[in-house]
Amino acid sequence: MKKILALLLVLAMAVASFAGCSKDGGSGKSSGELSEIEKIIKEAQGMTMDELAKKAIEESNGKTFYGVGNSSRGKSALPVFIEYLQTIDSNYTLNFEWQQPKNNKIFEQLTSDSLKSTGTFAMTLIQDGNQIQSKMVDTGILKTFVPKEWAEANGTTADKFTGFLPLQTLNKVFMYNCTGSATYTNCWDFVYEGSHPLFMGVDSEIVGKNFLMMLTQDKYAGWLKAAYDKLDATKKAYFEPTIQAMQSDAKDLGLGANGAYALAWIKLWVNSYNEQTDDGPICNTLVDASATDQSGLLVYSKLRSVEESATVSLNNIKVAAYQDGYTGIGGYGYCHYLFVTKNSPLPWTACAFIAFMTCREAGFEAWGKDMGGYSSNPNVAAEIEAKFQHSQGGGDQFPAKNDRGYDWWTGEGKGELVLEDPKYCSDVSFSVGSWIDVLDHYKPE
């Protein structure tokens, strides 16, 4: 294991060195030279929604708009966008197609399309910050557009905003079947002896691997250390050997003071979780009365589709972080990001559609109608909550569905959601990420 780790670190430094040689992301342009798409984005970032709409109408009337995304709901949002444009010009028409590639093929599809002088896809809605950073942004394939109204709602300006534009944050949270006697009062309970939480494997959905990598960031490693400190002596004694064994790896990987706690939790998690192919089956299992004492980490919004029966009920499940006295991380959050493609055939329309989804309640409603998805625009988030009242989604009858909202979930000492940071994930993917790959490869049967 030591030899493997040393080799991985050497490879990581080599890759980082190579990446540092190409500051233009392979575009062949100097840092001060803007492409035509970038010029349009820069101009668009100073426009209001209605101004963008007029540009979109002028550009795309009677044409076909192609979008691609990890979420199928882009197909639901586009007709609403078209209706909005028709309030400005009643003669406006737009055909559209929305694709949702399976098995993480979206990166290959966008890469292939980027080789054309004019692409097929106007924009994308995409997840997995790590691969977005390394495969899409660093290479110049995807371009970030920040709507003026979105920036103002978030107390900034488009030119000062850094990072990717998120449409929404989704959360995956710890839940457990409560028909038995088991209790989960600390995030370390999910990796304690005999615990085998249901979880989509790190190769099935890469955002799950990003979650594990994020645990090594100083902030979240500190949360794990604080939760460990609140364990009783018996549980501390169980975890202590693993934590001590991780000290040298934490040092070799360049982690902070609490890095060994993060690595210990990751190691125990990878060695113990019960791998599943999708969050839907995980939810279906946990809400069944027969799943006594089982636990899982899954998308919170899956609870929306549970149908009550003699053996299945939302009252058979509890959200760990909602329970009095629960300590530590309650799950993790990842984003759907919006981008214009480098060779977009309809860049003005793409910018207008992105602005519509992020700055108008109607534009976000395709996603916002369900719990567990939080608009990145605080104004839109407030409008969505006022309309759908997710905080009272289950009432007294099904308290697990009463969504406490983004601010609660991300608050320290509250939901303690671990949030994906694309830059951090990309930076440690060849070190911590490869270390996780080795763990997963030798995962006990």
Tell me the sheet residues that pair with 338. 125, 165
Q: Is the pLDDT of residue 194 over 80?
A: yes
Stronger pLDDT, 118 or 4, i.e. the higher one: 118
Query: How many angstroms separate the Cα of 374 from the Cα of each of 134, 168, 296, 302, 410?
Result: 25, 5, 22, 15, 11
For residue 127, pLDDT over 80 is answered with yes
- Checking if the pLDDT of 22 tops 60, the result is no
Separation between Cα atoms, residue 363 and residue 53, nearest integer Å: 13
d(CA 381, CA 368): 8
Nearest to 47 by CA among 153, 168, 150, 160: 150
Please report the pLDDT score of residue 440 as a whole number: 75
Is 0.75 surpassed by the pTM of this model?
A: yes
* Cα dihedral sign, 411-412-418-420: positive
pLDDT in tens, 140-190: 999 999 999 999 999 999 999 999 999 999 999 999 999 999 999 999 999
DSSP string, 347-371: HHHHHHHHHHHHH-HHHHHHHHTST
Name the CATH topology of 171-333+400-441.
Answer: D-Maltodextrin-Binding Protein; domain 2 (3.40.190)
The rounded distance, in Å, linking the Cα atoms of 115 and 323 is 51
pLDDT at 102: 83
pLDDT bin (cut points 50, 70, 90) of residue 104 is confident
Query: CATH: 3.40.30.160, 3.60.21.10, 3.30.230.10, 3.40.190.10. Which one for 33-168+335-388?
Result: 3.40.190.10
**Does 8 score more than 80 pLDDT?**
no
3-state helix, strand, coil in the chain (%, to 5): 50, 15, 35
The full set of domain ranges for the chain reads: 33-168+335-388, 171-333+400-441
Structure tokens at 304: 């929306």
Q: Which of 415, 283, 282, 354 is nearest to 125 (CA)?
A: 354
The reply to whether domains 33-168+335-388 and 171-333+400-441 share a CATH topology is yes
Q: Of 8 and 195, which is predicted with more confidence?
A: 195
User: Is the confidence at residue 24, as pLDDT, over 60?
Assistant: no
pLDDT at 77 over 80: yes
Count of helices and strands (H, E) across the chain:
19, 12
- Find the mean pLDDT for residues 255-271: 97
Query: pLDDT (tens digit, 9 = 90+) per residue, 368-420?
Result: 999 999 999 999 999 999 999 999 999 999 999 999 999 999 998 999 999 99
Q: Are 151 and 159 in contact (CB under 8 A)?
A: no
Q: Quote the pLDDT of residue 26.
A: 36
CB within 8 A of 212, min separation 6: which ones? 202, 266, 269, 270, 436
Position 32 scores a pLDDT of 67
Q: What are 67's strand-pairing partners?
A: 98, 123
Confidence of residue 289 (pLDDT cuts 50, 70, 90): very high
Average pLDDT for the chain: 92
Helix (H), strand (E), coil (C) string for the chain: CHHHHHHHHHHHHHHHHHHCCCCCCCCCCCCCCCCHHHHHHHHHCCCCHHHHHHHHHHHHCCCEEEEEECCCCHHHHHHHHHHHHHHHCCCCCCEEEEECCCCCCHHHHHHHHCCCCCCCCCEEEECCHHHHHHHHHCCCCEECCCCHHHHHHCCCCCCCCCCCEEEEEEEEEEEEECCCCCCCCEHHHHHCCCCCCEEECCCCCHHHHHHHHHCCCHHHHHHHHHHHHCCCHHHHHHHHHHHHHCHHHHHHCCCCCCHHHHHHHHHHHHHHCEEECCHHHHHHHHCECCCCCCEEEEEHHHHHHCCCCCCECHHHEEEHHHCCCCECCCEEEEEEEEEEECCCCCHHHHHHHHHHHHHCHHHHHHHHCCCCEEECCHHHHHHHHHHHCHHHCCCCCCHHHCCCCHHHHHCCCCCCEEECCHHHHHHHCCCHHHHHHHHHHCCCC
What's the pLDDT at 203?
75
Between strands 64-69 and 123-126, the pairing is parallel
Question: Given a cut of 60, is residue 1 above it in pLDDT?
Answer: no
User: Is the dihedral angle over the CA atoms 121, 125, 131, 132 positive or is it negative?
Assistant: positive
Q: Residue 427: its pLDDT value, please?
A: 95
